[in-house]
Amino acid sequence: MLRFEFPERPGALMRFLESMRTDWNISLFHYRNHGTDYGRALVGIQVPPEDNAEFQRFLDHLGYVWVDETDNPAYKLFLGKTIR
C-alpha cells in the first residue's frame, strides 16, 4: 500500500496510469485533496514479485512523492483490519 502526492494539474492521474504496466492491478485507489497544490492518494497495487525491480523503476520515473504505508497501523484501521 503506497501513499502518493499527486500534483494538482491536468494529466497527473493519466500520467500515473499510462506509466504503469497493464498487467499490474490497482486494488484500491482513495484520493483526497484539501485545497493544496497536490492531492494525496492511497493506492494498493498488486505487482508480481518478479516485477519488483520494474515497479521500482516505475516509481523512480514517475517522480511523484510516495511513501510505503503497508505497515502503518492507521492504514490497517482504514481497511478495517484487526491490529494486534
Comparing 27 with 75, the larger pLDDT belongs to: 27
Q: Distance (Å, rounded) from C-alpha 67 to C-alpha 4?
A: 7
Tell me the CA distances in angstroms from 36 to 5, 8, 40, one per residue in order: 11, 8, 10
- Output the pTM of the full model: 0.82
Residues 6+ apart with CB under 8 A from 22: none
What are the tens digits of pLDDT across the range 11-58? Answer: 999 999 999 999 999 999 999 888 888 999 999 999 999 999 999 999
Which domains, ranges and CATH numbers included, belong to the chain? 2-77 (3.30.70)
